[in-house]
Structure 1
Amino acid sequence: MKQLKTLAIAIVLFIGTQVSAQTKVAHIDVQALMTSMPEMKTAQDQMKKIQDTYDKDYKNMVAEYQTKLQKYEQEAPTAGDALNETRSKEMQDMGARIQQFQQTAQKELGQKEMDLIKPIMEKAQAAIKKVAKEKGFNYVLDSTTGSGVLVADGTDLLADVKKSLGF
């Protein structure tokens, strides 16, 4: 019985060794790949332009708000209660519009960034798959810092994928 257990364990270890010997694993820093892609620079420039436009609009809205607020505060003692109440409501509405603009701008920026990065990521993934297939790798791990890969001493495909993409 003991010999049968030993034999079963030996067979399992032998099969496990054969399977793992046939499996080839490589790694690549996907973040480094994407930041080095020319398309990423273009996407970042587009995002910067859009961000600057939103910032300009936001600053103009805030400046208009502050100007009106100062004017209304100076005129408040001489203006009637009805006018002061109307102005107070106008300032609250204006503050709400500014806040809504800021939230909408952040949401739109996030969506635009996703729209710009998605095709770049797809291109990077396609190149990684192509190189992995050419080199005979079964698995490619993302070795970007913080991705969960603790040791990445194996084959690094970054240079090969960059070469495949033409840079």
Structure 2
Amino acid sequence: MKNLKTLLLIAVFTLGIGGVANAQKMGHIDFEKLVAEMPQTKALKLSIEKLGKTYQDEIEGMGKKLDAKMKKYTAEQNTQTKDTNEKRALEVQQDRAKYEQARQVAYQEMQKKQSDDLGPIIEKAQIAIEGVAASKGILYVLDASVGKGLLVKKGEDLFNDVKAKLGF
């Protein structure tokens, strides 16, 4: 019976030490902030802004042409035949549909570019985090940016180490 109590005490003590050791192998990083500060993300943002400006100029040009056509047709409607006015109304309707379609396509292409180009950036950040965690013997890395819900940050903050590994 005495030996059983001693073994039980040793087992509890060993498990307690193991739990403390595992607790020390945690880290955290603000993943959103890391990705936002990466040079590739900043370059992507500039690229998307440039693409957006190009699309905006094209779409605004289409809009100005449509407005000019509508003003012209409105001013001339009393001097035109009913058949001509109907054709013009259909033409304006088709031009308006092309204008709306161009806006949607531009938005979708910008979203696709951002999604496609952001994937490799995120992957690079994850690989760097895994490398830093492995070099420091950290088993768990929590994302401190998820809803800013990390209330206690007793693990190691890996942000600066990962930035250094990524070279910025």
Supply the distance in 1 between the matched residues of 2:73 and 2:12 (Cα, whole angstroms).
Answer: 83
Corresponding residue for residue 68 of structure 1: 69
Q: Matches of residues 18-57 of structure 1 in structure 2 within 5 Å?
A: 18-23=17-22, 24-57=25-58
Supply the distance in 2 between the matched residues of 1:111 and 1:30 (Cα, whole angstroms).
Answer: 22
Deviation at 1:153, TM superposition (A): 4.0
Structure 2 gap ranges (5+): 1-8
Supply the distance in 2 between the matched residues of 1:82 and 1:16 (Cα, whole angstroms).
Answer: 90
Corresponding residue for residue 121 of structure 2: 120
Corresponding residue for residue 152 of structure 2: 151
Moved more, 92-101 or 36-45: 36-45
Structure 1 gap ranges (5+): 1-9
Deviation at 1:150, TM superposition (A): 3.5
Change (3 A) 1:76 1:159: same
1:166 and 2:158 correspond: no
Supply the distance in 1 between the matched residues of 2:61 and 2:98 (Cα, whole angstroms).
Answer: 13
Q: Matches of residues 124-135 of structure 1 in structure 2 within 5 Å?
A: 124-135=125-136
Change (3 A) 1:93 1:27: same
Change (3 A) 1:76 1:20: farther
Supply the distance in 1 between the matched residues of 2:13 and 2:83 (Cα, whole angstroms).
Answer: 90
Corresponding residue for residue 111 of structure 1: 112
Corresponding residue for residue 88 of structure 1: 89
Output the TM-score relative to the length of structure 2.
0.85
Supply the distance in 2 between the matched residues of 1:13 and 1:85 (Cα, whole angstroms).
Answer: 89
Change (3 A) 1:81 1:41: same
SS of residue matched to 1:61: helix
Change (3 A) 1:125 1:81: same
Supply the distance in 2 between the matched residues of 1:58 and 1:120 (Cα, whole angstroms).
Answer: 30
Moved more, 126-135 or 15-24: 15-24
Supply the distance in 1 between the matched residues of 2:82 and 2:12 (Cα, whole angstroms).
Answer: 88
Question: Which digits, 9 at most, give the CA deviation of each residue in 1:116-156, with x for residues without a partner?
Answer: 11111111000000000111111111111515433334311
Output the TM-score relative to the length of structure 1.
0.86
Supply the distance in 2 between the matched residues of 1:13 and 1:73 (Cα, whole angstroms).
Answer: 89
Supply the distance in 2 between the matched residues of 1:88 and 1:130 (Cα, whole angstroms).
Answer: 64
Supply the distance in 1 between the matched residues of 2:16 and 2:76 (Cα, whole angstroms).
Answer: 86
